[in-house]
Amino acid sequence: MGAMFGGLLTGIIIIRLARPELYLDWIAAGILQIGLGLMLSRDAQLVAPSEFALFCLVFVALGTLRLWIGATLEPGKGAASLMAGGLTSLFCVGWAILERFAAIGVAWDVIVATDLLLTGFSIVGFGLALRQPPARMP
């Protein structure tokens, strides 16, 4: 449920901030987050191998898209923060694969929630990088 809400919120915020332009890459990231949430709401255990493979594929696509968004930004405009968010998503995919085969006891929704939390931090870092420095007093 959190992934669906996070994806929807990402899409709405980006559409509102970027008006009249549409940043399709950011909207696609929101759609992929919603997709992760829909998969988990349908089958929270991801028992079938095909469902787990689709989950990992969507998660990898999300991480790769975040890396691409960060890579296409100008240096110094928060690119490092967004790329760190993409790398975190790919780390979470590795965590999910480890969970699947080693059964370490972490629920899938916890992995997705961790990714959403760290993505939020990377977006905050991106926003802080875009701020103008305060004017200095003479």
pTM: 0.85
Tell me the mean pLDDT in the region 54-62: 94
The closest alpha carbon to 50, from 2, 58, 109, belongs to: 58
Q: What are phi and psi of 21, to 5 degrees?
A: -80, 160
Per-residue confidence (pLDDT) for residue 90, from 0 to 100: 94
Q: Could you give phi then psi for residue 74, rounded to 5 degrees?
A: -70, 145
Interatomic CA distance for residues 2 and 116, integer angstroms: 8
Token pair in block for residue 19? 């008006």
CA 88, 40, 103, 57 dihedral sign is negative
* pLDDT for 10: 74
What pLDDT band is residue 106 in, cutting at 50, 70 and 90?
confident
What confidence score (pLDDT) does residue 17 get? 67
Backbone φ, ψ for residue 43 (5° rounding): -145, 95
The Cα–Cα gap between 79 and 108 comes to 28
